[in-house]
Amino acid sequence: MTELDTHGQYGPWAVIAGGSEGVGAELARELGAAGINVVLVARRPGPLHATAATVRSLGVEVRTVVADLTTPEAIDAVVAATDDVEVGLVVYNAGANAHGRPFTEGDLGAFRRVVDLNIGAMLALTHHYARPMSERGRGGILLMGSLAGYVGTSTEGVYGGTKAFSRIFAEGLWAELREHGVHVLELVLGVTRTPAMERAGLNFDVPGMHVSEAAAVAREGLAALPHGPVHVVSGNEAIVELRSTGERARLVAGTEKIMRNLLPQP
């Protein structure tokens, strides 16, 4: 973290939505070690408060917001928690998926919550904090993307669609804010070993599959933040190149076979 300008570009406070575990928690630790105070937002209080305690031990201030970001009151709670501080970095690591749920067999309300969390709440928080960053001429916005945003599959149509939106949005926001001194990056994650993915039953032992570790992803993301608009986590570049092909039907069919090995079967 020696390259992170703690008191200039990104400080003195950062907001991390989805900051209780996995990549979000590792980002909180990295920022805390660099002297940046953090506001951690998550739905589950146990992991949230445990991570907060760890980051406080690094000598920075930590505030916590226990909230379901799909609700309007949750956005208000995050805003209220930062009304008296200057936020120089926003990390949107919160995310919902619908792995293993074909659209026609799933619950429409659940799919709408995926959209609300992955798009609606992301837009709300980004819109609130981006304007003052632009006016100050400094700041950073880090959005978590996914390889799923490059191809649709029968069980990831909604989730992948939201991640495709996120990438295009990040590119547009980068184009808008770069002349105002604000860094914008979508960090595209592949298969990453996190508590959430372990609870989902992901098979990390598929032959030839690259698995990233959360701590390494956090460090790489912060290092890439000044160099937007999109950065693919190391080890996943070939997959992105493959998924950018124009032969979409062949690509989708091939990806379906891979997903059947990766995800638990219903």
As to burial, measured by CB atoms within 10 angstroms (0-12 exposed, 13-18 middle, 19+ buried), residue 95 is buried
- For the cut 70, the answer to whether the pLDDT of residue 186 exceeds it is yes
Q: How many domains does the chain have?
A: 1
HSE-CB for 236 with a 13 A CA cutoff: 24
DSSP 185-196: EEEEE-SEE-HH
The whole-number pLDDT of residue 98 equals 58
Asked whether residue 190 is assigned to any structural domain, the reply reads yes
**What per-residue confidence (pLDDT) applies to 266?**
54
3-state secondary structure of 213: strand
Any domain includes 1: no
Query: Mean pLDDT across the chain, nearest whole number?
Result: 90
pLDDT digits (tens, 9 = 90+) for 208-243: 778 899 999 999 999 999 999 999 999 999 999 989
CA dist 222 to 26, 30, 63, 90, Å? 11, 9, 21, 12
Per the domain annotation, does 234 fall within a domain? yes
Is residue 264 very low, low, confident or very high in pLDDT (cuts 50, 70, 90)? low
Q: 249: burial class by Cβ within 10 Å (0-12, 13-18, 19+)?
A: exposed
Q: Is residue 151 over pLDDT 60?
A: yes
74 occurs within a structural domain: yes
In terms of Cα–Cα distance, which of 173, 217, 167 is closest to 192?
Answer: 217
CA distance 67 to 135: 28
- Please report whether residue 5 resides in a domain: no
CATH number of 198's domain: 3.40.50.720
pLDDT tens readout for residues 118-138: 999 999 999 999 999 999 999
SS3 string, 53-94, reads HHHHCCCCCEEEEECCCCCHHHHHHHHHHCCCCCEEEEEECC
> Is residue 4 situated within a structural domain?
no
pTM above 0.85, yes or no: yes
Highest mean pLDDT among 99-113, 184-198, 230-244: 230-244
Indicate whether 48 belongs to any domain: yes
> What are phi and psi for residue 238, nearest 5 degrees?
-65, -35
Query: Above 80 in pLDDT, residue 100?
Result: no
Residues spanned by the domain of 21: 13-262
Per-residue model confidence (pLDDT) at position 146: 94
Residue 227 lies in a domain: yes
